[in-house]
Amino acid sequence: MNNIKHRRQKRILTIVNAALVLAIFVAVFIAEQVLPQTSMLFVVLKKGSIYALIAVSMNLLNGFTGLFSLGQAGFMLIGAYVYGIFTIPEEFRQSVYQYFDGGLIHFTVPIVIALVMAGAAAAIFAALIGLPVLRLKSDYLAIATLGFAEILRALFQWKIIGPVTNGSNLLRKFPNFNDFNIKNADGQVVLYLSTLVPFIVAGVCILLIVLLIRSSYGRAFRAIRDDEIAAEAMGVNLFKHKQLAFVISSFFAGVGGALLAMYQMAIQANAFTSAMTYEILLIVVIGGLGSVTGSCFGSFLFIAASEWWLRGLDSGAFLGINAPGVFRAGFRKVVFAVIIMAVVLFYRKGIMGDSEFSAKRIAERFRRIFMKRKSKIEAVDSIDN
Amino acid sequence: MLKVENLQVSYGGIEALKGISFEVPTGKIVTLIGANGAGKTTTLRTISGLIKPKNGAITFEDVSIAGNDAAAIVGRGITLVPEGRRIFPDMTVLENLRIGAYLRKDKLDNDIERVYALFPRLKERSWQLGGTLSGGEQQMLAVGRALMANPKLLMMDEPSLGLAPIIVREIFDIIREVNKQGVTVLLIEQNANMALKTADYAYVMETGRITRSGSGNELLNDPTIKEAYLGTMNEEE
């Protein structure tokens, strides 16, 4: 009896959650048609959604499985390159690979397949380095993965493999988000999709990660995070599950890397520095280790603050205050660092902790406020009587 | 059911087990008692596959399981309630129970009800995080979690550790109850008095060797055992 009621309640909450997500997508779609394309909002939405995917993939590893890995930039690099290499149209190859005689590869694959290939390549590399690396724990694992990411960065600029990677030169002219806009015969855009597409790709990937976390595999990951020895004693194969989490996380980091390449319209190995990994780690920690919605909020807040809201601090005027003497290049970073410190001080476990933002939580919050008011009224009544 | 013969285990150069042999018959409660460092925990961890033995044989239901990995051994029907409980603190009580049945693919509803019937307090706390439970409740959760694997042999490493006497009694009542339901129990204890009262058969371990064995009552009344492990009986009661 109770069980049936519980199940029905759960179904309603799932529907409400789905509706909330759908509403966000619809809002993005409408905003894109109505607002001018040059608005900073779209920079934030595009880059934010890509970072959200990468942050969630990192959270799967660091927050849910308890593996402190810092290889994210390396896997993004692989994803970006695989995407670029296999999607540059043939007619542009001669100009892109100008120092390598048009390059070695002379075919292209559809964008969706290229995205999957980007993820798969990153996953295969993760499976290879997982064998030695995942035997390490905590800090040592972090150092080893960081090392592999740096090696990749150097390797991809190596001249010998230039016919494939274009050495230290840019890869460009591959399809980007603007190519998703639907144009009429005169070349005028009739339907803007350049922001919705990264939203949909990131959304689908994050949904897959959430489903994994909620499955019995996800439970095993969290058991490993909480207590490795107890997990092993329960029959959870430690190495197999760590490897699985590592490979899946890398897959989505690879897809994220490909999306980032589409956003930036050019790929160069040198850009995938460890600083990029730290940015994502910062998002994960500030959003909350072990919270998917936390990582998503964290990404959009981080990108909005660094790319948009605090820009004025670098260029003279901020919030209507004109002070070119103080608000000079670099001041933004100072303020940003202070904000981050304040957030960490007030939210010790990140903005969301390890809980999720969902319909259930909102409902509970409302119920609590309502109950409190009710009990207060009753208390007042009893005093009056 | 379980037979251990001449089991030797060493950590680096240190020999923790110097060739022990004992047997756990089906349907009984068997206990290993001994002081710290006697090798009790090492014995259990070796049987459950967390440590690989250097030498010796472990047979479970006439199949050798020495050196198998932990998952395979859980799959055969041996589960361990680890020392210090080691429940998963950031997972709910229900999730902790479900992890216990990780290797099973069948429906769990009946087993969860069975565990809740044994420990009604866990049912009340079903949605609470494991780390917020009291010590006694955590021990109950650890036992319940192990039972979720539907074991034939349940091994418990010091279930009385750090618990109030009244809770210890409760835990031992449950051990007897679980045993009555058909689960064989191998119990490790420093609380020799309680363990010997509960067990059908007991072994005494000292520095990696088994030095004595006998039925629970026999050892309970043995003067040397009394002196070494039980203190004077009046104090305990």
Number of domains in chain B: 1
In the prediction, which pLDDT does B123 show?
Answer: 92
Cβ–Cβ gap A237/B90 under 8 Å: no
pLDDT tens readout for residues A158-176: 888 888 888 888 998 999 9
* B70 contacts A233? CB cut-off 8 A: yes
Range of the domain at B151: 25-51+69-236
CB contact at 8 A, A265 and A259 = no
B89 inside domain: yes
Residue B236's pLDDT band, with cuts at 50, 70 and 90, is: very low
Decide if B75 touches A, using CB distance below 8 A. yes
Angle among Cα A202, A204, A205 to the nearest 5 degrees reads 65
The full 3-state SS of chain B, as one line of letters, equals CEEEEEEEEEECCEEEEEEEEEEECCCCEEEEEECCCCCHHHHHHHHCCCCCCCEEEEEECCEECCCCCHHHHHHHCEEEECCCCCCCCCCEHHHHHHHHCCCCCCCCHHHHHHHHHHCHHHHHCCCCEHHHCCHHHHHHHHHHHHHCCCCCEEEEECCCCCCCHHHHHHHHHHHHHHHHCCCEEEEEECCHHHHHHHCCEEEEEECCEEEEEEEHHHHHCCHHHHHHHHCCHHHHC
The pLDDT value recorded for residue A332 is 81
Question: Percentage of chain B with pLDDT > 70?
Answer: 97
Q: Does B50 touch chain A (CB under 8 A)?
A: yes
Across A11-54, the runs of DSSP E, i.e. the strands, are: none
Q: What is the mean pLDDT of residues A309-325?
A: 74
B91–A233 C-beta distance less than 8 A: no
Chain B CB contacts of A291 below 8 Å: none
pLDDT score recorded for residue B35: 84
Q: What is the CATH number of the domain that holds B136?
A: 3.40.50.300
Six-digit token string for A123? 């996953």
Residue B17 lies in a domain: no
Measured CA angle at A360 (ends A44, A197), to 5 deg = 30
**Chain A within 8 Å of B164 (Cβ-Cβ)?**
no
| Contact residues, chain B, for A233 at CB < 8 Å | 48, 50, 70, 74, 79-80, 82, 86
* Verdict on whether the full-model pTM lies above 0.80: yes
Every domain of chain A and the residues it spans: 17-274
Q: Is residue B10 part of a domain?
A: no
In sequence order, the β-bridge partners of residue B22 are B4
Task: Answer yes or no: do B99 and A232 touch at CB < 8 A.
Answer: no
Nearest chain B residue (CA) to A227:
B88
Place of tokens 């539907």: B150
Taking CA–CA distances from B85, the nearest residue in chain A reads A230
ipTM: 0.87
Question: Are B50 and A290 inside 8 Å of each other by CB?
Answer: no
User: Which of A55-64, A135-144, A315-324 has the weakest average pLDDT?
Assistant: A315-324
**B175 within domain boundaries:** yes
Q: How confident is the model over A8-23, as a mean pLDDT?
A: 88
Inter-chain CB proximity B95 and A232 less than 8 Å: no
Closest residue in A to B90 (Cα–Cα):
A226
Burial of A120 (0-12, 13-18, 19+ CB in 10 A): middle
Would you call A226 and B103 a contact, using CB atoms and an 8 Å cutoff?
no
Mean pLDDT throughout B138-158?
A: 93
Q: What is the pLDDT of residues A205-254, one digit of tens each?
A: 999 999 999 999 999 999 999 999 899 999 999 999 999 999 999 999 99
Of B69, B86, B145, the CB nearest to A229: B86
Q: What is the mean pLDDT of residues B95-113?
A: 90
| Chain centre to alpha carbon of residue A200 | 13
pLDDT of residue A381: 62
Residue B4 lies in a domain: no
Contact B99/A236 with Cβ under 8 angstroms? yes
Residue A383 has pLDDT above 90, yes or no: no
Can you tell me whether residue A196 is helix, strand or coil? helix
Per the model's pLDDT, the better-predicted residue between B113 and A7 turns out to be: B113
Residue B59: inside a domain: no
Give the residue from chain A lying closest to B45, CA to CA. Answer: A233
| Residue in B71, B88, B89 closest to A235 by CB | B71
> Which member of A220, A227, A237 has the closest CB to residue B86?
A227
Query: Which residue on chain A is closest to B100 by alpha carbon?
Result: A234
Other CB atoms within 10 A of residue B77 CB? 17
- Examine residue B13 and state whether it is found in any structural domain, yes or no: no
